[in-house]
Chains A and B, each alone.
Chain A
């Protein structure tokens, strides 16, 4: 399972970077989205894939009795998903406004502020 997930993570990174190298801002944004998915999946894989139960310690015990899933990577991913949702929503509005104002979605033409 780890191998499959590792390949998917690699594929997502490759696709994300490929999309970011294109000239259209929309594709750039899709690339960024893929990149954050890849990172989330990487955390998920790196946290250890295990067929476990809910990590709740029963009353009176000091440790879980059966094999449990590590809750921390899931909490990290959940937080990261919410953050990337907010950031991508912002980026979507940004490219929309940029298109409205500048009339182009070609990154090669957005070089007025460059040096």
Chain B
């Protein structure tokens, strides 16, 4: 129910921002503000679930459809929903890290995944893997592609949140 309502609002937002008319700034604010009590309450429980599903998408991405990009979009979707039901500042509090720092950190991580193999004498961005044993669970393969994907996850989340939060704060 909340979702359908959101879709309608977004459609309105698009129509109104495209058909630019007088007094559009006021309308933009009004359209983006959601006052559904149900959604407001539900999102508190939904947010952790949605974040979990985004992490699932992210980890699944190594061998199956998914990955940092989709995971990041899912995460930013969850936070954007929170920001629209509560407020932009509340969303900032929830994520704690400023979105721009998230972009920077993500870029550095992806960059690191390229530089790490160079330390072992391989060309830039060559996949480098390490295997560790965890008793009871089996083998754990860790590699630079994971780090790269984590970087992408952070960058996508950060960029989308910068968009959404600055639009809301306008």
Verify B163–A26 contact, CB threshold 8 A: no
Min distance, Cβ A58 to any Cβ of chain B, angstroms: 14
Q: Does A105 contact B (CB under 8 A)?
A: yes
Chain B residues positioned under 8 Å from A99 (CB to CB)? 20
Question: Which residues A2-16 have CB closer than 8 A to chain B?
Answer: none
Verify B163–A96 contact, CB threshold 8 A: no
Chain A residue at minimum C-beta to C-beta distance from B69: A82
Q: How large is the interface on A (under 10, 10 to 19, 20 to 34, 35 or more residues)?
A: under 10
Q: Does B38 contact A (CB under 8 A)?
A: no
The distance in angstroms between the C-alpha atoms of A72 and B156, with both chains bound, is 23
The distance in angstroms between the C-alpha atoms of A105 and B18, with both chains bound, is 11
Chain A residue at minimum C-beta to C-beta distance from B28: A96
Q: Does B11 contact A (CB under 8 A)?
A: no
Chain B residue at minimum C-beta to C-beta distance from A95: B20
Verify B17–A89 contact, CB threshold 8 A: no
The distance in angstroms between the C-alpha atoms of A92 and B18, with both chains bound, is 9
Chain A residues positioned under 8 Å from B20 (CB to CB)? 26, 95-96, 99, 105
The number of A-B residue pairs with CB atoms under 8 Å apart is 11
The distance in angstroms between the C-alpha atoms of A100 and B19, with both chains bound, is 13
Chain A residue at minimum C-beta to C-beta distance from B159: A86
Min distance, Cβ B15 to any Cβ of chain A, angstroms: 12
Chain A residue at minimum C-beta to C-beta distance from B19: A26
Min distance, Cβ A93 to any Cβ of chain B, angstroms: 9
Chain B residues positioned under 8 Å from A89 (CB to CB)? 163
Question: Which residues A31-90 have CB closer than 8 A to chain B?
Answer: 89
The distance in angstroms between the C-alpha atoms of A95 and B20, with both chains bound, is 10
Question: Which residues B106-121 have CB closer than 8 A to chain A?
Answer: none
Chain B residue at minimum C-beta to C-beta distance from A92: B17
Chain B residues positioned under 8 Å from A95 (CB to CB)? 20
Chain B residues positioned under 8 Å from A105 (CB to CB)? 20
Min distance, Cβ A19 to any Cβ of chain B, angstroms: 13
The distance in angstroms between the C-alpha atoms of A5 and B19, with both chains bound, is 32
The distance in angstroms between the C-alpha atoms of A39 and B25, with both chains bound, is 34
Min distance, Cβ A95 to any Cβ of chain B, angstroms: 8
The distance in angstroms between the C-alpha atoms of A105 and B24, with both chains bound, is 14
Residues of B bordering A, CB below 8 Å: 17-20, 25, 163
Given contact pairs A26-B18, A96-B17, A100-B25, enumerate 8 new A-B contacts (beta carbons under 8 Å).
Answer: A26-B19, A26-B20, A89-B163, A92-B17, A95-B20, A96-B20, A99-B20, A105-B20
Residues of A bordering B, CB below 8 Å: 26, 89, 92, 95-96, 99-100, 105
Q: List 9 A-B contacts (CB under 8 A).
A: A26-B18, A26-B19, A26-B20, A89-B163, A92-B17, A95-B20, A96-B17, A96-B20, A99-B20
